[in-house]
Structure 1
Amino acid sequence: MIGCLCLHGFTGGPYEIEPVTEYLRKNTDWILSVPTYPGHGDVLSLKGITHQEWIDEAEKAYLELREKTDTIYILGFSMGGMIGGYLASKYGCDKLILLSASAYYMNPAQMLKDIADVIKSGISGQLKDHELFLRYRKKFMDTPFSATREFRKLVRTLKPAIQDIKAPTLIIQGECDGLVPKKSAEYIYRTIPSSQKKLCYLQQSKHMICHDVEQEQLIEEVFKFLMNK
């Protein structure tokens, strides 16, 4: 039996990777595990929660999945990519997929473009319809600085694990991502010692890569990678 552990990002929830997980549910008979870290989900409650609690929740889900299956795939988005890479290095897995994994974060050039777009929408009176603004405004308002500090600790703690990943790995990165720059994907690709690794760029996609304009291409790349022997 095949199991697939699917990990969302910082301040997010399972909805961030839902297009991929729903496709896998419809097209496979695999056991999917999609945990929600403490303080995350549709309603954020991050105050007082540590990065270790997020890691522990993902690790618990991995160990439970391992008890039920003989083959394990890990898919991680953004911060979930860092946690997924850590679990792959510590326990091993049969295949690893990293979507916009945040070994580095914040792409200043793209963020400036996005902010300029938001300002332009505000001037034209269309700010309430601006998808990027609406998506991130509530996250920014509901995320205490302490949680951001814990996120940075997590990245700093788990980043060395990348050099111990032996599993076949697919890395997918949006070229218009304002939160995770291309150098993050490039660093991961260079650092992973696995002889089976692929780096795929989506030219028009921003950070929420599973919900962006190249969603079909992303799902196709993920499914093809997982189905190939």
Structure 2
Amino acid sequence: MITMSESTEMYLLRTALLQRESQPVPLSLLAQELDVSTVSANEMCRKLMHDGLLIYEPYKGVRLTEHGSAIALRVLRRRRLWEVFLVTHLHLPADEAERIACRFEHVTPDHVADRLGTMLGEPRYTTRSEPIPQAAATEIELPALAATELGVGGEGEVVAITASPTVGGFLCSQGLRPGARIRVLAASGRGQIIVRVGGQELVLEQALAEHIRVVVDHHHLISEEV
């Protein structure tokens, strides 16, 4: 496997995290996220386009090729596995673990990441409910709906909680955590919804329910061998 520079990996990873439904990521946004000038981002993206890792659309932005996406997800897998290890085994705060993992992700070979994943029991989520790409993943199917968008009778699997740690902790205490099944039983004109989760019924305000991300089937992480 060809070794990628840290800069290349960061551009691909940040593009993957910003990209939605194959829509181009504006260069200005990418530059802001990477803390570089738009000119520098433009030059780097053109290089990555020539390397077959990005599709560059002038005046629109960039999106990943299949090859670029596979590399980005391998880097993301390393980062999030290290986050889990540092939090659960070394008991570091999540923010500190993320900073360290961001350095480890660039120097960890894939076979070491795979062994780390095996040791950790192949976790599907970080301690902050972020999905972890599985080995050789080529795509993460991100949560498509908020709980408020399911509609009455709609059912899905909770895959992420996007709220603050305080609100997220409250939702988790009510059983609304990644992996839980949720069904919308009723909705009121005031924006409240009644849901069933874990054998109990809960009334949720719209502002809370919008932080619960769900998919309508169990397989929200799609992977294949490369």
Q: TM-score, normalised by structure 1?
A: 0.23
Q: Which has the higher strand share?
A: 2
User: Which structure would you say has the larger Rg?
Assistant: 2
Q: TM-score, normalised by structure 2?
A: 0.23
Q: Which has the higher helix share?
A: 1
